[in-house]
A and B are shown apart, each in its own frame.
Chain A
Amino acid sequence: MTSYIRKEGYDTVELNDEWIILNSQEYTVTTLNEVGGYCWKLLHEKQTAKTIVQELKGEYDIDKESVQADIETFLSNLMQYGLIQYAH
């Protein structure tokens, strides 16, 4: 199972249920929704899609089966924007 972790050099601001991630080295701003921000917070430590789903089930009322797919898509987007990296 692939593990992910945040890259260094990001500052995070929570504002009106959105999370704003500033990278002062790459000069980018990324905005996440509330659940995305919760996932981002978890990615302070090494995580897999499965461990994130388990954490989300403890925090949110989830009754849909596609959560794992949601998380994998989200992680793929974070990788694409350079916010996370593979953890070894």
Chain B
Amino acid sequence: MQKGIYCAPEVLDHRPVG
């Protein structure tokens, strides 16, 4: 099986939401 391309794991965004 072909392996995926690695990039560093990141937190892109975190925010409260009769």
* Contact in complex: B6, A74 (CB < 8 Å): no
> A60 with B6: in contact, given A27-B17, A28-B17, A29-B17 (CB under 8 Å)?
yes
Which of B9, B13, B15 contacts A71 (CB under 8 A)?
B9
* Contact in complex: B14, A28 (CB < 8 Å): yes
**Which residues in A have their C-beta under 8 angstroms from that of B17?**
27-29
* Contact in complex: B6, A81 (CB < 8 Å): no
Scoring B residues 1 to 18 as 1 if CB is less than 8 Å from chain A, else 0, what string do you get?
A: 001111111111111110
> A59 with B4: in contact, given A32-B11, A77-B11, A78-B11 (CB under 8 Å)?
yes
Which of B3, B5, B6, B9 contacts A32 (CB under 8 A)?
B9
**Which residues in A have their C-beta under 8 angstroms from that of B4?**
34, 59-61
* Contact in complex: A36, B15 (CB < 8 Å): no
**Which residues in B have their C-beta under 8 angstroms from that of A30?**
11, 13-14
